Structure 1
Amino acid sequence: MPKEIVKEKILTFPQVKKLLEEREKEGGLNYLQKITYDYITKLSKLDANRAEELMKKLEMEGISPIVAAQIVNIMPKTIDELRTILSTENKLFLPSELEKILSIINSFRQ
């Protein structure tokens, strides 16, 4: 019988990593979860708390949650990289807005 989706939430890589770590403590991970954990561990650039904080700040700048999550996952270093990610938004960002967003991202960089 197919599983029913009860709730959907957009998560960043660090948040997924934290959830998998909690699941592992509770009773272990299955094969697919272990592969996902290894992949996420290699790509995570922030811890879960800082990722969530950065997502909130990006959303306050008018960025949708799904695009904010991608920005947190990728942590773009240049305006061009940021502009590419933001191209899916239905909003045109001014150069000054892009610089402000990049400044926010850089303040979270480890």
Structure 2
Amino acid sequence: MLFCSLMEIIKEEPITNEKAYQILAKQKQLSYRAERTKKYLEKIGFIKNSDEILKQLVDLGIELEKAIMIVNTMPKTNDEVRAILEKDYTPEIGKKVLEIMKKALSSEK
């Protein structure tokens, strides 16, 4: 017998991988999909204290959704930053983003 539970979406918002992991880690019992997501996040890793980095990126004038993508993908090159920011990309912003990410990634080690 197959059971299906329906859940109502109350709020939808983009979140960092760190926040997603924290939410899943608090749960006592996870569905198969949630457990796989948690294991995936453990495997790929995520930046701790991502809220601080997110604030720095938003302070540069980067919109929140794109800042979250930057934090989640952890870009290491200008091309990677350009792909995320698209039309909002400038060489100055790209350089600042890479400096922020380099500092964040080096403090993780």
* TM, length-normalised to structure 1: 0.82
- Give yes or no for the alignment of 1:76 onto 2:75: yes
Aligned to 1:18: 22
1:64 shift after superposition: 1.4
Write the letter of the residue equivalent to 2:32: Y
- How well do the aligned residues superpose, as a CA RMSD in angstroms? 1.7
Question: How many residue pairs end up in the alignment?
Answer: 102
Structure 1, unaligned stretches of length 5 or more? none
- Pick closer, same or farther for the CA change 1:30–1:4 going to 2, 3 Å: closer
* TM, length-normalised to structure 2: 0.82
Percent sequence identity is 32
1:2 shift after superposition: 5.3
- Give yes or no for the alignment of 1:44 onto 2:48: no
1:37 shift after superposition: 0.5
Structure 2, unaligned stretches of length 5 or more? none
Higher relative contact order (CA 8 A, sep 6+): 1
